[in-house]
């Protein structure tokens, strides 16, 4: 799908949730010539977009009512639920024939629920969670995992292409969210492996940067090793991707896996370890702070 380059047919879009991810993503669409109507809980967060010519809506319904396509990029599943089903919600405002696109990482079952409720009103719904973090949002280099019907996805594709460089249609409604869960489950494993390896190497008396020289190019190679270990060794646990949001994702994946009668002990372990990390006061730290939970369990602190 990346090869296809469409002309932008959508000129008017709404954007709900203009935080650290949504802000720059909406900005890319404005750069591409879209007229934007924005709504976000704290208006201050929308100011940069308003100064660049976006117009302000007082409610999600008002925003959706003014646009052909409405994007949502909020925080937790309950926020998504409020925006789509609460008072003055997107589905109350959006016009028949319109498209709504939830880019929040949320429950696959909620994506299906939105899809069905939208369909009853003649509105097409797409789930399109992303990976790539705030850097990917700023650089328009996100991976966008898309669930929904082909025609609606094709219509929105030119807009996705302004925000990401790896856009893949994964299947029907919910498939984008399920794919994001696959992504988060792999990361659960890599984060545990990397942090336990560091704890072991430290306690064994090794020089950790020297260990990396031996192991980072072979079968142990992973993004987490390359990107997080340098920060861990500097004891820099600022996000990146915050622990609270990752716990949300892990719990969604766990709940879905239980619904599907799957036993995923690594995922369960990750949820326990990250919950422990949150209890240690690191809910707003980056996910690589997992090292601190492992250190705490073994009563040590790695000092470079």
Catalytic residues: 180
Q: Least distance from C-beta 220 to its own copies, angstroms?
A: 4
Question: Cα(first)–Cα(last) distance of the chain, in Å?
Answer: 46
Give 71 or 246: the residue with its C-beta nearer to its own copies. Answer: 246
- Residue in 97, 154, 215, 301 binding its own copies, rule: CB under 8 A: 215
- How far is residue 48's CA from residue 29's CA, in Å, rounded to a whole number? 14
Question: 120 to 149, contacts with its own copies by CB under 8 A?
Answer: 131-133, 136, 143, 145
Residue 82 interacting with its own copies (CB under 8 A): no
Give 98 or 108: the residue with its C-beta nearer to its own copies. Answer: 108
Residue 69 interacting with its own copies (CB under 8 A): no
- How far is residue 301's CA from residue 304's CA, in Å, rounded to a whole number? 10
Within 10 Å of residue 142's Cβ, how many Cβ atoms?
A: 27
Q: Crossing angle of helices 175-203/290-298, nearest 10°?
A: 40
Q: Least distance from C-beta 43 to its own copies, angstroms?
A: 32
- Residue in 8, 20, 50, 199 binding its own copies, rule: CB under 8 A: 199
Stretch of 9-17, 67-75, 96-104, 265-273 contacting its own copies, by CB under 8 A: 265-273
Q: What stretch of H or E contains 16?
A: strand 12-16
Bridge-partner residues for 206, per DSSP? none
Q: In terms of Cα–Cα distance, which of 283, 206, 201 is closest to 242?
A: 283
Residue 161: C-alpha distances to residues 72, 125, 157, 277 (Å): 17, 18, 6, 36
Residue 214 interacting with its own copies (CB under 8 A): yes
Give 197 or 278: the residue with its C-beta nearer to its own copies. Answer: 197
- Residue in 97, 122, 266, 281 binding its own copies, rule: CB under 8 A: 266
Residue 197: C-alpha distances to residues 60, 62, 297 (Å): 46, 52, 14
- Check: CB of residue 147 under 8 Å from CB of residue 126: yes
Residue 225 interacting with its own copies (CB under 8 A): yes
Where b means 16+ CB within 10 Å and e means fewer, 203-220 reads eeeeeeeebbeeeeeeee
Contact flags string 165-184 toward its own copies, x per CB under 8 A: -x-x-xx---x--xx-xxxx
- The 8-class DSSP code of residue 281 comes to I
Question: 233 to 252, contacts with its own copies by CB under 8 A?
Answer: 241
- Residue in 75, 77, 158, 189 binding its own copies, rule: CB under 8 A: 189
Residue 108 interacting with its own copies (CB under 8 A): yes
Q: Least distance from C-beta 22 to its own copies, angstroms?
A: 19
Stretch of 26-34, 65-73, 111-119, 262-270 contacting its own copies, by CB under 8 A: 262-270
Stretch of 26-34, 38-46, 97-105, 293-301 contacting its own copies, by CB under 8 A: 293-301
């Amino acid at each position: 799908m990346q090869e296809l380059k469409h002309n932008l047919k959508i000129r008017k879009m709404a954007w709900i949730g203009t935080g650290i991810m949504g802000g720059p993503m909406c900005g890319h669409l404005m750069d591409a010539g879209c007229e934007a109507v924005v709504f976000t809980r704290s208006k201050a967060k929308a100011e940069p977009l308003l100064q660049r010519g976006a117009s302000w809506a007082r409610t999600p319904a008002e925003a959706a009512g003014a646009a052909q396509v409405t994007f949502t990029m909020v925080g937790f599943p309950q926020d998504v639920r409020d925006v789509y089903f609460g008072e003055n919600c997107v589905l109350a405002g959006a016009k028949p024939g319109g498209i709504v696109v939830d880019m929040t990482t949320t429950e696959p079952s909620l994506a299906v629920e939105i899809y069905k409720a939208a369909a009853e009103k003649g509105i097409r719904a797409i789930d399109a969670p992303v990976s790539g973090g705030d850097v990917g949002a700023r650089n328009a280099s996100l991976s966008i995992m898309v669930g929904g019907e082909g025609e609606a996805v094709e219509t929105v594709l030119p807009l996705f292409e302004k925000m990401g460089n790896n856009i893949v249609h994964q299947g029907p409604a919910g498939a984008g969210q399920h794919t994001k869960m696959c992504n988060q489950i792999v990361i659960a494993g890599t984060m545990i492996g990397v942090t336990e390896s560091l704890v072991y190497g430290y306690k064994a008396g090794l020089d950790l940067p020297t260990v990396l020289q031996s192991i980072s190019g072979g079968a142990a190679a992973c993004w987490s090793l390359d990107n997080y270990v340098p920060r861990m060794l500097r004891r820099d646990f600022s996000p990146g991707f915050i622990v609270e949001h990752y716990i949300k994702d892990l719990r969604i994946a766990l709940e879905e896996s239980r619904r599907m009668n799957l036993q995923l002990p690594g995922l369960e372990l990750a949820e326990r370890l990250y919950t422990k990390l949150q209890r240690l006061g690191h809910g707003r730290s980056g996910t690589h702070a997992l090292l601190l939970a492992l250190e705490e369990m073994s009563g040590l602190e790695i000092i470079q």
